[in-house]
Amino acid sequence: MRLEDPALTACWHPAALARDVTDRPYPVTVLGEKLVLFRSGSGSGVHALKDLCIHRGVPLSLGKVERVCAYHGWRYDGAGACVCIPSLPPRRPIPAKARAEAFRCREEHGFVWVCFGESEPEALPLQGKVDPGLIPVWMGPYPVRAAAPRVVENFLDVSHLMFVHEGLLGDSRHAEINDYGVRRREGALCTDEIIVYQPDPDGRGIGVESRYVYEIFSPTCVKLVKRSSGSDEEFHLFLIVLPEAETACTAFMLQLRNYSPDVPEQVFIDFQNTLLAQDKVIVEAQKPELLPLDLQAELHLRSDRVAIAYRRMLKELGVTIGTE
């Protein structure tokens, strides 16, 4: 059953990495709704249908070929219309009711996006935000048994780096966070630079003093830009989270960098996999499971300013999935 949340219903959500969607059925869950993704026969277009055959309620994702129900062989087109019922006699018309519900579906920046809104959003979350001059690496999917806002806020929490990721993204002997502000810029919430000493910030084993800037574009799409003192190296990392249920989600990441073109991308993927495994232990154990939007419910410090701004944004937008 689809979860009701007007704010998130109107958003584009990352349903899958584009490379994972082929002409074979690919099941996903978006806001509680079970969908099946697939490409058209030519491989050019992506489609999203409700993962249910109207005939006898069998998931279309059980089919062994695109858009074909595994139970009785009914075939659907990309718009959800049934175009073949094998049991019908020749020249017998297909009932108009023989349809699967179809949803807006687009491919951009290496992801397949789905939207349930009645009116199409103006832009996808990453539109105009990805620097084409940088080297991209796609990461995920990362299933997490936690509310999507919890996962996003953890990404924005710089003061956990020295403890959850000690020896990699931080050092507990250098845990103090400089004072910083959060301001709105070009429709996003952005932080000032936050300075962090990092023993091994990207898996190459090179310790640096990093300067973080966080950007929040939507309830489930955020970014950090990291630069190293005394270096021209630049590192971007997008986190885009797919809310599946109140306390379950899938995270995707897009990393961009202007250095180490000869380093295999698997080095960066393996490093990020390690970080995600460390974060999962924390966010899956947090209580309450839903993110409190009442700022009096928990204690906040100056170093939590970006998290406070994020919670205020969720409250202003009326986000209810994963919050309390």
Residues 69 and 182 in one domain: no
CATH of the domain at 81: 2.102.10.10
DSSP H helices, the chain, are: 6-9, 148-156, 161-164, 265-283, 305-317
* The total number of structural domains that make up the chain: 2
Q: Which structural domain, as residue segments, surrounds residue 88?
A: 12-115
Residues 80 and 253: their CA atoms lie apart, in Å, by 30
Mean pLDDT (the chain) is: 92
Residues 172 and 94 in one domain: no
Residues 310 and 161 in one domain: yes
Residues 153 and 99 in one domain: no
The predicted-structure confidence for 19-49, as pLDDT tens digits, reads as follows 999 888 999 999 999 999 998 766 568 999 9
Residues 101 and 189 in one domain: no
Residues 56 and 91 in one domain: yes
Residues 167 and 275 in one domain: yes
Residue 132 CB contacts under 8 Å (≥ 6 apart), including other chains? none
Residues 152 and 74 in one domain: no
Residues 157 and 81: their CA atoms lie apart, in Å, by 46
The predicted-structure confidence for 45-74, as pLDDT tens digits, reads as follows 899 999 999 898 999 999 877 778 888 988
The predicted-structure confidence for 96-144, as pLDDT tens digits, reads as follows 999 999 999 999 999 999 999 877 666 889 999 999 999 999 999 999 9
